[in-house]
Amino acid sequence: MIDVSVSKQIRHAIDFNLGIDNLNNKKYWETQNYFVSRLADDPVVGTSRVHATPGFPIGFTVGLMLRLGER
């Protein structure tokens, strides 16, 4: 997975920001904590394991940063 971030000063107190997460759009899993999970109809027996959730696909963030009060 590749993340890219760029920042460019446009004017004295204004910056342009661009971020791209998961540039190659790779499928991945984010691991969570090791804990016990149980089925709803069987509250006594549980399974201990590391849980994971699917990672996010490609995402973009664009923004402007204004620095007020600087000279």
pLDDT in single tens digits along all 71 residues of the chain? 899 999 999 998 999 999 999 999 999 888 877 777 777 777 677 777 777 888 899 999 999 999 998 66
Of 59, 49, 70, 52, nearest to 3 (Cα)? 59
Q: Could you state, in order of their start, the residue ranges of all structural domains in the chain?
A: 4-66
Contacts 24+ apart (CB under 8 A), 49-55: 53/29, 54/27, 54/28, 54/29, 54/30, 55/1, 55/22, 55/27, 55/28, 55/29, 55/30
Model pTM score: 0.64
Check residue 36 and give its pLDDT. 75
